[in-house]
Amino acid sequence: MRRIVISAFVSVDGVMQAPGAPQEDTTGGFAHGGWLAGLQDEEIGQAVGEMFAKPFDLLLGRWTYDIFAAYWPYIEKNPSADGYHEGTARIAELFDRVTKFVVTHRSGTLTWANSRALSEDVVGALRNLKREEGPDLLVQGSTEVIQILLENDLLDEMTLIIAPIVLGKGKRFFGAGAVPAGLELVGSGTTRKGTIIARYRRAGDVETGSFAHQPPSAAELERRKKMAKA
């Protein structure tokens, strides 16, 4: 069976919009595009390399698909040509080759090789994909797809690359509709520039307990009454 896994660059306050370039996604007047560039280092590169080392197909929202389709197919892949970069070319060749499942209402406009549209009953289609034999479905960017996954408890694993910055506004990783879920930390590290790399797996339900004084004081009981009326 397939797993659905996410790797996302986020700020400390959870914003994941446009880490790569100023014009990547200016939706909502977002003015801090390219915020990851100053933090890029060898350790982040290693984490990204590990992410792509295992077999995978891509699961993308339409906005991210369009960003990728305007970039990766045009990367220079000839080692003798100007502008060639081995690591970038390797990723470009990999992205060209894998299947790209795209959540979109414009299914007839997918021009990148090996692209497949998920345009009807997206949740049902994702559940069916998970039941199939095949490589992991790797989500890159795709804020709206992430919300679908979190709201329907379809996510198996996520790697958050948490940059030591606060962006204030922008598209966020976690939305209000996320299903409460327990997580298990299965890997972590910190780069020299202070970026935290944390990998989590789905791990049961949220467990609750209480540090409240027993029995509750009269003041506490009165506080609870006021809270119930708020």
The tens-digit pLDDT sequence of the chain (230 residues) is 999 999 999 999 999 999 999 999 999 999 999 999 999 888 898 888 888 999 999 999 999 999 999 999 999 999 999 989 998 999 999 999 999 999 998 878 899 999 999 988 999 999 999 999 999 999 999 999 999 999 999 999 999 999 999 999 999 999 999 999 999 999 999 999 999 999 999 999 999 999 998 999 999 999 999 999 98
Entry pTM: 0.91
CATH superfamily of 4-229: Dihydrofolate Reductase, subunit A (3.40.430.10)
Long-range contacts made by residues 177-186, C-beta under 8 angstroms, separation at least 24?
A: 177/147, 177/150, 177/151, 178/147, 178/150, 178/151, 179/150, 179/151, 179/152, 179/153, 180/205, 180/206, 181/153, 181/205, 181/206, 182/206, 182/207, 186/157
Strands 100-103 and 183-190: unpaired
Helix H segments across the chain? 42-53, 62-69, 86-97, 122-131, 143-151, 218-229
